[in-house]
């Protein structure tokens, strides 16, 4: 299994531009999570999906952020327009809610976003 695949690994863009981050979860996993990591705020859960349906988006910071999961093998996180304070590492993670209910997340390598 190739694990959770994220692209791009690095993105440098200018303020005001649209940014799209992509994620391919592990096949068979039914949960997908988007996290943001910064020095100041640590790891923050932005949104998560179950069976492609958004369950909790309370962590999405503003309307500039949106996430979709059109099918079980693909998700996007979009920022439009981007701002310098959006600079962070964005992680996608997926999991399968097994019988004991413990949700073990498998993380991708992350997408490092720099907004100038």
Partner 1 sequence: AQSVTQLGSHVSVSEGALVLLRCNYSSSVPPYLFWYVQYPNQGLQLLLKYTSAATLVKGINGFEAEFKKSETSFHLTKPSAHMSDAAEYFCAVSEGIQGAQKLVFGQGTRLTINP
- Window contacting partner 1 (CB under 8 A); options: 20-28, 60-68, 75-83, 107-115: 107-115
Residues 24-43 that bind partner 1 (CB under 8 A): 31, 42-43
Judged by CB under 8 A, the residue of 46, 65, 91, 94 near partner 1 is: 91
Encoded one letter per residue, x for contact with partner 1 by CB under 8 A and - for no contact, window 50-79 reads x----xx-----------------------
| Whole-angstrom distance, CA of residue 49 vs CA of residue 25 | 11
- Which residue number, 81 or 106, has a Cβ lying nearer to partner 1? 106
């Amino acid at each position: 299994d190739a694990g959770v695949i994220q692209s791009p690994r690095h993105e440098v863009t200018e303020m005001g531009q649209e940014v799209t981050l992509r994620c391919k979860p592990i096949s068979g996993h039914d949960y997908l999570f988007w996290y943001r990591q910064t020095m100041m705020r640590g790891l923050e859960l932005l949104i998560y999906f179950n069976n492609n349906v958004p369950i909790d988006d309370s962590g999405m910071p503003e309307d500039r952020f949106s996430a979709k999961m059109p099918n079980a093998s693909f998700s996007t996180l979009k920022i439009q327009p981007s701002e310098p304070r959006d600079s962070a590492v964005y992680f996608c993670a997926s999991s399968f809610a097994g019988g004991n209910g413990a949700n073990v997340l498998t993380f991708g390598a992350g997408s490092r976003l720099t907004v100038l």
